[in-house]
Amino acid sequence: MLAFKEEICYLLSSLTGMDPGEVAFSLEIPPEPGLGEYAFPCYGLARSQKRPPHIIAAELAAKIKPAEYLEKVQSAGPYLNFYVHRPYLFSRLLPEITRLGPEYGRNGEGQGQTVVIDYSAPNIAKPFGIGHLRSTVIGSALYRLYSIMGYRVVGVNHLGDWGTQFGKLIVAYKRWGDGSRLEEDPVHYLYNLYVLFHKEAEINPELEEEARLWFRNLEMNEAEAVQLWERFRALSLEEFKRLYSFLGIRFDSYQGESFYNPLLEGTIGLAVEKGLAKESQGALIADLEPYGLPPCLLRKKDGATLYITRDLAAAIYRYEQYRFHKLLYVVGAEQTLHFKQLFKILELLGYSWAQDCVHIPFGLIHFKEGRMSTREGRVVFLEDVLNRALDLAHNIIREKNPDLLHKENAARMVGLGAVIFGDLINDRIKDIEFDWDKVLDFSGETAPYVQYAHARICSIFRKAAQEGEEVSLALEHNFPALLETGFLSSPEEEQLVITLARFGEQVRRAAQDYRPSYLARYLVDLARDFNKFYHNCPVLTADQNLRRARLLLIKGVRVVLHNGLALLGIEAPEEM
């Protein structure tokens, strides 16, 4: 379908004088199948030509003749609707999907270019809460999307492994810590110590000053402070990696905030040299008010640096290391001002690549009892959510398919998929209210709905194999020519192929707009179209040629469901 769209873009470009990219941006998918595969609104041309858009649409329709790939073009008011020649599309698309299999959807658009993605970034010594889910799964999906488009992708986990909280942890551990308990369950134990520190500090405020002194010792590389910090960091990272492995998520770098400590003086020196950094009441600031932003604190009057100072050093380091085409920060919408200041400072420092830095904001996860707080100890742990999802999936599978082998593996795929998909199908910019029932709902627009469509197709192929039918036979007998003769002509079949053909386009849109939700919703649509086909178009009981055509069609659906779910970090079970 991408090739079809490109043909339309060049055709309209030759007739209107518009740039093909501008045409591509304007093309829409009609709201109803009967209105064609693409629609071109003529409002923009109407403004430039000062003529009614419906007149322009009618004139263009009269100029465009049917082609090998193009069945017809019709004007509909101010729109120009394009209809693909269905047999032509079917005879090329379905064999291509079958031939490429797991590689279907891959393209070389980003060849030779690097995209660096900063995502997840949990805090050392604090458990992985459900609030970390969004950055982790959105970033991971973008990693896969850009990879399939041919980019070299570098996933960076910018760990929160520095700051005054480590002074608090050191105080808490020295006062109340137990080494054996730390080794047994390091992250949760450190988290409980952190919560205990804040409770005790309300009674004994001197603890805050003691914590500041210990963090100062850490900054001065005092041996005991460094040893404790390294121990906390190593144990936490080991626990994080275990959870990432369970989720199927990878990173190429775990360079956290502490990694950039040696680079901070050079970064601040550059800001001073460029005349950007100015002293204000003993502190060092970047005055951004001329650019519509508040002043940005780079260094406190006591010499302590801030998060944005480390982000400046990190961005410069990443460009020098990777020469990126884009640097993406998958960080909550709360940090929008922070990134506006960061990118503006980079620009003022003379880095032309600052325009290639992109903040990808997302909404918060809210809780019925209020916002999540690690200080007060009110947090929903992600691992608890995952375990509960797996338990529920196992119960449902045991009830619906008691004879299924490998129930545990199927439950893992379904349970993890439900949680990941439940996040990704939402537009990332919207807030999500965390609700057990919604997260673990196994009906409707969910991963299990999509996964079940995949499993149902696998079941059909198992039965076909028992009857001696192989889809490969269809290809060996010049099946593309057979498709052109009019098989797969029912409304359900035609719609299913058209939806299949949009896969590459949805992958590109999801990557370009940084919205994996586009792909998630597409997979729901594909599963829904398959289910309509399944209930109205029998496969194994059809005549031989039609049976083979339909087997080839659903094989294409199986491949795209599998590949699409994989891009979101979700497995596709063959049985459920």
Chain segment 127-167, per-residue pLDDT in tens: 888 888 999 999 999 999 999 999 999 999 999 999 999 99
The pLDDT value given to residue 2: 59
Number of other residues whose CB lies within 10 A of the CB of residue 344: 18
Number of other residues whose CB lies within 10 A of the CB of residue 539: 21
* DSSP H or E stretch at residue 227: helix 223-247
Q: Residue 183: which pLDDT band, with cuts at 50, 70 and 90?
A: very high
The pLDDT value given to residue 372: 46
Taking the alpha carbons at both ends of the chain, their separation in whole angstroms is 32
Q: Is 203 left (phi over 0), alpha (psi -120 to 50) or beta?
A: alpha
Please tell me the distance from the alpha carbon of residue 415 to that of residue 549, in angstroms, as a whole number: 34
The pLDDT value given to residue 131: 81
Q: What is the pLDDT of residues 216-249, one digit of tens each?
A: 999 899 999 999 999 999 999 999 999 999 999 9
Name which of 269-278, 482-491, 562-571 the model is least confident about: 482-491
State mean pLDDT over 442-471. 87
The pLDDT value given to residue 209: 95
State mean pLDDT over 106-121. 96
> What does the DSSP 8-state code read for residue 277?
E
The pLDDT value given to residue 368: 58
CB 121 within 8 A of CB 415: no
State mean pLDDT over 515-540. 96
The percentage of the chain sitting over the pLDDT mark of 70, rounded to a whole number, equals: 93
The pLDDT value given to residue 57: 97
State mean pLDDT over 393-397. 90
State mean pLDDT over 508-531. 96
CB 345 within 8 A of CB 287: no
Q: Residue 483: which pLDDT band, with cuts at 50, 70 and 90?
A: low
Q: What is the pLDDT of residues 339-354, one digit of tens each?
A: 999 999 999 999 999 9
Lookup: tokens for 308: 């944005």
Q: CATH 3.30.1360.70 spans which residues of the chain?
A: 2-84
Q: Secondary structure of 113-158 in the HEC alphabet? A: CEEEEECCCCECCCCCEHHHHHHHHHHHHHHHHHHHCCCEEEEECC
Please tell me the distance from the alpha carbon of residue 121 to that of residue 311, in angstroms, as a whole number: 13
Please tell me the distance from the alpha carbon of residue 12 to that of residue 24, in angstroms, as a whole number: 10
Q: What is the CATH number of domain 2-84?
A: 3.30.1360.70
Distances (CA, A) of 52 to 287, 537, 538: 50, 44, 48
The pLDDT value given to residue 544: 84
Name which of 24-28, 289-293, 531-535 the model is least confident about: 24-28
Name which of 18-22, 376-380, 401-405 the model is least confident about: 376-380
The pLDDT value given to residue 476: 45
Q: CATH 1.10.730.10 spans which residues of the chain?
A: 383-567
Nearest to 146 by CA among 119, 174, 181, 123: 119
Q: Is 544 or 502 the better-scoring residue by pLDDT?
A: 502
The pLDDT value given to residue 92: 84
Nearest to 144 by CA among 155, 131, 159: 155
Name which of 375-379, 381-385, 483-487 the model is least confident about: 375-379
The pLDDT value given to residue 540: 93
Name which of 193-197, 283-287, 428-432 the model is least confident about: 428-432
The pLDDT value given to residue 129: 84
Class in CATH terms, 383-567: mainly alpha
State mean pLDDT over 92-113. 92
On the question of pLDDT at 481 being above 70, the answer is: no
Q: What is the mean pLDDT of the chain?
A: 91
The pLDDT value given to residue 68: 83
